[in-house]
Chain A
């Protein structure tokens, strides 16, 4: 009697070839550079606009309050974390560094609020980027 052995490769159902979706890379990248744009390029107009307005306004208010924009550094741990948070705003961060915004010394409580607004805007934009990635993946509508 012939012994029927099933090899591991035959037992495993053949995975369907999933076509590569460039949006998986484009949406997060665009969303990082321009807050909300990761949703806009995927035709989530209202969501994209809400996110864009929220993050850009938060960042702008932070700058208007003379908040500090952190620079790359290897010093204080809090400064490093602040830089990582700021970097989340992507294009806004690059623009502010290019224009030398947010480089004044913090001299009032409102400026401290501004610094927190800028860092929080970056962290919120990271959430937007992850959400845009999930939409591109099809894990979220």
Chain B
């Protein structure tokens, strides 16, 4: 049995954000420029949300 791929939480969230942003960008906008901008926006919001939630939990813990 091949060993399972072990990704850190950050790596997994990064890849999730990347793939989801590509699909969101391509499917939710009409032309290439808007697709790129919207995909980038989604990616930043995904990662920003992750960092924000992480710091929020850190503050709750301390």
Contacts and interface: CB of A to CB of B under 8 A. Distances in A.
B7 A113 contact: yes
A64 B5 contact: yes
Nearest to B27: A131
B53 interface: no
A57 B12 CA distance: 12
Contacts of B4: 64-66, 108, 110-111, 114
Interface in B26-54: 26-27, 30-31
Interface of A is mostly: helix
B48 to A, nearest CB: 19
B26 A47 contact: yes
Contacts of B9: 109, 113
Contact of A50 (B26, B30, B31): B26
A51 B24 CA distance: 10
15 contacts: A51-B23, A51-B26, A54-B23, A55-B19, A58-B15, A58-B19, A61-B15, A65-B12, A110-B7, A113-B9, A114-B4, A117-B12, A117-B15, A141-B30, A141-B31
Closest 4 CB pairs of A and B: A66-B4, A64-B5, A131-B27, A54-B19
Interface of B: 4-7, 9, 12, 15-16, 18-20, 22-24, 26-27, 30-31
Interface of A: 47, 50-51, 53-55, 57-58, 61, 64-66, 108-111, 113-114, 116-117, 120-121, 124, 127-128, 130-131, 140-141
